[in-house]
Amino acid sequence: MDVEKLFDLNQNVEGILIYNGGETSNDPSFFYFTQLTRGLFEGSYVYLTRKNLKVITSELEEETARSEELDVEVFSTGKKRDEILKAVTRDVTFIGINYSGLSHADYLSLKDKLPDKEFIDVGESISSLRQIKSERELSKLKEAAKIVSVVGDRIPDMLKEGMTENELAAMVNYEMMKNGASSPSFDTIAAFGPDAAEPHFSGGNRKLRKGEVVLVDFGAKYQRYCSDMTRSYFFGKPDREMEEMYEVVFRAQDAGFKAIRSGANGKIADGAAREVIDSSRFKGRFIHSLGHGVGLNVHDHPALSSQYDFFLKENMVVTVEPGVYIPKKGGVRIEDDVVVTKDGCQIITSASRELQIV
């Protein structure tokens, strides 16, 4: 991460204060700057200047913060925390904060604690920095991708007639944790038959039957960094329309891969995949964007969309996930995570993409 660049983009800012409120207002940017891989750090701050990074946290997190050899200030009471905030910001007037990472209540509380300061929103600049991953970040993202790849290749062996969608989701979550994930990076989607026609289906009790498509969308979190992968399988021989659907989505994803490189417009990549689908019998059935950024959030930023001009840069990590959906029948989606490179992209999820009939 380039803290100097962040200040260069915000010339009026003298210091930057990032607040991690906790469950209701968790700001991943706190962990982006600190790279802390353990702990909750609820109610904690990171204060940045051009020359220094300081963590302000409670006694609950002191040991974790100090284990990373960070500059740490520890408070035991709210009064002590406020005194530390005033002390570290004593010599500055203009402070950058991430508006998108703060609840309105937290913002008002911060204004009350530091009434003599002028707050400037630096959230857009932080988002821009977070889009391009460091080598340290890439190593974590690749490990998260490795975990889902191992699990993806095991899913066909998990499929049993009569099992429920929730049962399969639980098995996938267990296998991710068993293989090194700290948690799923989002609620696992397991959808059978007609349920697979809902791109954001949330788990149900439908029982698996012969001839049905099985769509599984899942991700692993590794040291706070996410992966996101979807595979579609067939439990027994599908009809010709569903097989053709898979073949079209597979070719659309290949077209998307080929359109990705540093400097390319994400809109063009989306269009390349969409053209494959719209030139088939499934025209108009690709009803979402081709992909999004992945990082500390599973949906880190927009990336590949027909509605959005977004120019890709080297070391961005994005998903490529075309899909086709027919209500009351089913759907197919294939999703992989890729690292944008100078001349193309590196696919970091490696589970088999080939059509599988179990």
Mean pLDDT (whole number) for 314-331: 98
CA distance 106 to 56: 16
Largest CA distance in the chain: 71
For position 76, what pLDDT does the model report? 95
For position 1, what pLDDT does the model report? 66
Domains and CATH numbers, the chain: 3-131 (3.40.350.10), 135-347 (3.90.230.10)
314, 194 contact by CB (below 8 A):
no
Percent of the chain with pLDDT over 90: 94
Range 310-328 burial, b when 16+ CB lie within 10 A, else e: bebeebbbbbbbbbbbbee
Average per-residue pLDDT in the chain? 96
102-144, pLDDT tens digit by residue?
999 999 999 999 999 999 999 999 999 999 999 999 999 999 9
CA distance 333 to 121: 38
For position 192, what pLDDT does the model report? 98
For position 119, what pLDDT does the model report? 97
Both tokens of 88, joined, read 């570290």
For position 239, what pLDDT does the model report? 94
- Which phi and psi angles does 149 have, rounded to 5°? -65, -45
For position 3, what pLDDT does the model report? 87
For position 64, what pLDDT does the model report? 94
Mean pLDDT (whole number) for 36-43: 94
- Block residue for tokens 């802390």: 36
Q: What is the pTM of this model?
A: 0.95
| Residue 291 CB partners (closer than 8 Å, separation 6+) | 256, 266, 269, 270, 303, 304, 318, 319, 320, 321, 335
For position 195, what pLDDT does the model report? 97
Judged against a pLDDT cut of 70, whether residue 154 lies above it is answered with: yes
Percent of the chain with pLDDT over 70: 100
